[in-house]
Every structure is written in structure tokens, then in C-alpha cells.
Amino acid sequence: MPQFYSHLGPSMTSEYPEADARVEEHYRSLLAARYTWMMGGLDSCLNGARELLASTGALEAGAGSVLDLGCGPGFHARALAASGKRVVAVDNSAALLRELSDVCAGVGAGAVVPIQAELSDTERFASFGPFKTILCVGDTLTHLRSLYVVDELIDDLSRVLSPGGLLILEFREQPRDLSGQDAVLTLRAERDRIMQCVLHFEPECVWITDVVHEWADGKWHVMKSSYPKLRLSAARILSRAAAAGLQVHSDSRRAGRRVLVLTR
């Protein structure tokens, strides 16, 4: 790692156990409270979730449980519950699970079961399965601490997916390094809040530093926080999925992200 970035942490070319704590702290201290805003606001997020689910066939009629891994504020959980499905919604962020309860209020008592857990702790939610649909969308997979943990998760999910069920994975591949001014992105800017991120590319991960400026009490308040995101390749995921007995139902791109729909 270049000296300038050495404060961010060690390289992720091997297992980096601190990554989980780093990601969790990033959501706790900066991102959870601003996630829905950063993503464009609730209505836009709900519409986007419905579009993704409709395009992958996940909203089609038929009972059965759905597992939403890294559910965040519940945009997908709400659309699924509104179409009559029971959703087991897993996330390790207490703040985002509280937001999910508000977002999903009114879609039917017990239709959404929130579970605060690590994605890789499959024993915490496997007993609710087998699942007719499993989602890990919105770039959640890239938050795991190593490519090996992603491999293991695919194996575990293939075991709790019903025969004929759908495993929907949506993630950014980040195949190309960005540097200089191209590595500074403005995520959203409004009069009283501006959110930007600075990217630093390593072979297996991208360090994201979010920078938020908020105007309050007559001055700008600045917050910064960094966390690593894995650089995933669809080829690796497809090969692991095939070894776990999953076939490709569809493979597409949406808003710069790869969307793989796998079936058993």
C-alpha cells in the first residue's frame, strides 16, 4: 500500500479480519443516517427496488419465504412483502433495521422478519428456509471481508435455496483503476448537504473515503470515514456458483452494476 494510504489499513490481498468492524463502524458513524438520502430518497429507492425485482422475476406470484441479505432500509423487503411474500431481512446495522421497520410498516404484520446478524453467520437465518428467493443486492457482497468469504457464502446460500428458487446477486465489478480527479466522485449535493467519496484502488479492494459537508448553526460540519470494498469479478462468482450446483437464469447490467440471477 502506498505510504499516503497506510493509515487506512493493510492490503486485502489476503484475509483482512478488521474489514467487518471497519464497515460496521462506517455505517454506524456516517452512512446509515444518510444512506436513503445518498441513494436519491425513499420514493426513488422504492421504485428502483421494484424495477429490479420485477425484471428478475422475484415479484411473481407464489408463496414462499425470501431472504434479503444486507437488506438496509428495506426497499426490496417492502416490495416483496407487498406482493404477499414473507421476507427474512438480515443486516448488522441496528439503525438501518430501525429504518426498515418504518419503511415496511403497513405491509402486513409479520410479513418482514428483521434479524440483526452478520451475512456470513448463515446459521442465524438458515432455519427460516429453504428460501424461494435469496437477494444480496445493492453492492452488499462487496462489503464482505475477503473473496474467500464470498465463496463460502455462495456455497451456504446454495444449500438454503429451494429447488427452482432464485439467488439474485447485484454488485459493482470495479475492473478499472481510477486515479487523480477521476477517483473523486460527488454522490449527491444539495444546498445544506454535500456527499463525496474518494477512491483508492488496490488489487483486491477499493478503499472508499466518504466525505460529508453539512450546513448547520451557521457553519459547515465535515465528517470523513473510510472502509474497504472488495473488487468482485462475475467470472469468479459464476464459477463458484456452478461448483455449488447453481445455473445461470440471467446475467445483465443495471446502472453500472452486474445482476446475476442463479437458480437451483
- Interacting residue ranges for ligand SAM, rule: CB under 6 A: 20, 23, 27, 70-72, 75, 91-93, 96, 118-119, 137-140, 143
Smallest separation (angstroms) from ligand SAM to the CB of 102: 15
**By C-beta, is 47 or 215 nearer to ligand SAM?**
47
Smallest separation (angstroms) from ligand SAM to the CB of 243: 23
**By C-beta, is 6 or 79 nearer to ligand SAM?**
79
**By C-beta, is 91 or 210 nearer to ligand SAM?**
91
> Taking the CB of residue 157, how many other CB atoms lie within 10 A of it?
26
Residues in the chain, how many? 264
Query: Do the Cβ atoms of 74 and 99 come closer than 8 Å?
Result: yes
Smallest separation (angstroms) from ligand SAM to the CB of 225: 13
**By C-beta, is 75 or 131 nearer to ligand SAM?**
75
HSE of 85, CA atoms in CB hemisphere, 13 A? 24
Smallest separation (angstroms) from ligand SAM to the CB of 215: 26
- Closest-approach residue to ligand SAM (CB): 138
**By C-beta, is 72 or 129 nearer to ligand SAM?**
72
**By C-beta, is 16 or 27 nearer to ligand SAM?**
27
Nearest alpha-carbon partner for 150 in 205, 216, 226, 220: 205
DSSP states of 147-197 as a string?
Answer: HHHHHHHHHHHHHHEEEEEEEEEEE----S---GGGGEEEEEEETTEEEEE
Rg of the chain on CA atoms, in Å: 18
Smallest separation (angstroms) from ligand SAM to the CB of 27: 5
Q: Which three cell numbers stand for residue 105?
A: 410498516
Smallest separation (angstroms) from ligand SAM to the CB of 155: 17
Contacts of 195 (CB under 8 A, 6+ apart): 34, 38, 186, 187, 188, 189, 210, 211, 212, 213
